[in-house]
Structures are given as C-alpha cells and as structure tokens.
Copies of this chain bind each other. A is one copy, B any other.
Amino acid sequence: MNAQPTDASFDTRQRLIEAAILTFAEKGFDGVGIREIALRAKANSALVTYHFGGKEGLYLEALRYIFNRKACHVAELAAAPRFEGPGAREAAIQGLKSHIRAFMEDLMACDRGPDPLDEAAMALMAREMQAPRPVSSALLMEQIRPHVEHLMHCLQVLRADLTTDELLNMGMSIQGQMLYFRNSLGIARLIRGNPNYPEDLEGVIRHFTDFSLRGLGIPEAFPQSRN
C-alpha cells in the first residue's frame, strides 16, 4: 500500500473505489472477487493490493469514500446548538422535523439527481448496518453517532418524562421507518405497481413527520385533539 496517492494514481484509485461500491453493494463483500471489481474499473486486479493493501482495505476505503462524499444535511443539523430555555420545545419540534427531512433527502440523494453511485452507497451502508464487519463497525459507529445524539437531544427535550431506554426506543422507531422505507424501495414499488414510487417525496416526508410526532406523543400533531 502506498503512503500518499499522487496525481497519477488518483484516477485509478477513484475508479477502483467507485467500482467497489457498485459491486459490493450488489453482491456483498464475499460475493465479489477483486478481479470483477478491477474489470469494472478497467484496472489491473493487482492494484487492489498495491493501493489499498488488499480486498478488505478497498472495502474500508469504499466506506470512507461514501462517508466523505455525502456532505449530509443531517451532519449539518448534528452540529446545531442545544435547545434550551423558553422556546426549547418549539425548537426541538422544528429540529425533529428538520432531521426527518434532512435524513430523507440524504437517503434518497434527491438533491443530486438519480445517481447510481449514491444509490449503491446507500445499499452498501444498509448491508453494513445489518451485518457489520468487525473491522468497519467502528467506522460506521463514528459516522452514525452524531446523528443519533442530535435526534436523541430533540426527543429528550420533547419527552423529558421518559427514561433513556424509552427515548432510544422512540428514536429507533423514527429512524426505523425511514431506513426500512429506503431498504425496501424495490418491494414497495412492486406492491404499489408503480416503478416510479415515490413520485411525491414531499408527501412521504410529511407522512413520516406526522407519524413520528404522533407516535412520539406530541399533542399538536394529533388531529383529533388539535382543536
């Protein structure tokens, strides 16, 4: 593995990484050979060991590439200040709404157009989340933690009466519906008989927002008790 890539090797490295994302996402780590990746990247398979130290090194670098590439909206929110004092509750509601919107927009990568690489990157992250490799679980945790903490902060402000465990359950339900939505897009399109679903992402975001606020137990979001 070389120390720092030069301009000459940068293109090859990038092509290998992108081919790795596409192919790993499609078939999983064990379902792909480095020859297949190298062929897709129009590079020699020996370069995988040369540039990344091996197949696993390429896999790790692919994950890092995904994390760095996705200048997430969620990441910006995670850096927001804490909600305190009067108006904290309203701010937390707005923060939760923003989180759901940002997370959905990140999930769908809707602001960069339909990019197959983004699509594959999310599929690969989904694989990694379900069956985390020991070597990459730390990388994944480091990436997810700030988002989790920001969401948990919103929830804690909104439901100060709940225990930490109950708050984690709330967060799990909120994140779960969105991540499952992303993971099962293919099936959902089949069930609805609509290959373009969701045409109305705004409607889906609105649904997740309302469902989450009600599920969380926010009175303002509950239609029957609103008036």
Contacts from A to B (Cβ < 8 Å) = 27-31, 126-127, 129-132, 137, 140-141, 144-145, 148, 165-166, 168-170, 172-173, 175-181, 183-184, 186-188, 190-192, 203-204, 207-208, 210-212, 214-217, 219, 222-225
Contacts and interface: CB of A to CB of B under 8 A. Distances in A.
A24 to B, nearest CB: 11
Most buried by B among A27, A140, A222, A225: A222
Nearest to A161: B223
A130 B186 contact: yes
A184 B225 CA distance: 34
A153 B28 CA distance: 36
Q: Which one of A27, A31, A130, A137 has the greatest number of beta carbons of chain B within 10 Å?
A: A130
A144 B30 CA distance: 27
A134 to B, nearest CB: 11
B219 A224 contact: yes
B173 A132 contact: no
Contact of A223 (B132, B168, B217, B224): B217
Contacts of A181: 172, 176
Contacts of A192: 165, 168
A172 B180 contact: yes
Contacts of A186: 129-132, 137
B190 A180 contact: no
A150 to B, nearest CB: 14
A170 B212 CA distance: 11
Contacts of A211: 169-170, 173, 215-216
A153 to B, nearest CB: 15
**From A29, A126, A207, A223, residue with most partner B Cβ within 10 Å:** A207
